[in-house]
Each structure stands twice: as structure tokens, then as C-alpha cells.
Amino acid sequence: MFICYEAVFADEVRQFAQLGAEVLVNISDDGWYGDTSAPWQHLNMARMRRSKTAAGFCATNNGVTAVIDPEGQVRQSIPRHQTDVLRRPMASATNVTFYSAHGDVICVGLCKYLVWASWLSLRMSLRRILQNKVRS
């Protein structure tokens, strides 16, 4: 279970899945946003976490209450400003996604590669500049 915008922090949610969580519940109070797009944005972040972790997921309270399937699709929801109960079985985690197992390893590796490539490019450019100065 995580609270409100903790859904934004992918690595924290991933740790719940790594520790064996089969269902994730996001308790939030999106009422203070009023009639803006923020509750929908919050729901979309929860959908992304669901598809990355493969754990069952339910986003709740006075934002958009929803049951989200393994592919991140909303299977059942309650409109905002309406009191109701969702009665739907949730699929629990049956497999470990690449992201749950390895986290941001691809992103970290790509960042390291870009730093190395930038350093190499800068070094080659400086070498050419110095060689041109020596020749002139």
C-alpha cells in the first residue's frame, strides 16, 4: 500500500513488488485538486505502475477509483464525486516483469553510455583543435 503521489516514484513501487506484493493499493485524497485534470493524471501514473510491476492494482478514495488490469487498462471505475463500491476480482501478480526484476538498469546503462560517448566526442574535438593549432 502506498499513499497518494508515491505512485510517481517507480522504484519505491517496484520494491513492494520485489518484496512479494501481489496487490498494490494507492490511497489518495485527490479532492483538493477540484475539477482539474490532476486526478486523471494520478490515475494514469497508477496505470503505468501496474503495467510495470504486474501486481494487482486499485487506485482509491475521492480521486478516480479504479481496478487496473495487468496491461494497465482500467477494467472498472467509479466516477469522481460519487460514492460506490467496486466488486471485481483483481488479478494478482503471476510473473515478474523485467522492470520489477531489474529496475532502471537500461536507463542507467544508457545514461552511462551517453556520458562516455560525450566525453569521447569532446576529447576527439579537443585533439583536432590542438592539432590544428600546432600546424599553424
pLDDT digit string (tens) for 32-71?
777 888 888 888 887 777 777 766 666 666 778 888 877 7
- pLDDT at 109 exceeding the cut of 90: yes
- CA 73/CA 111 separation, integer angstroms: 30
Which residue bears the cell 599553424? 136
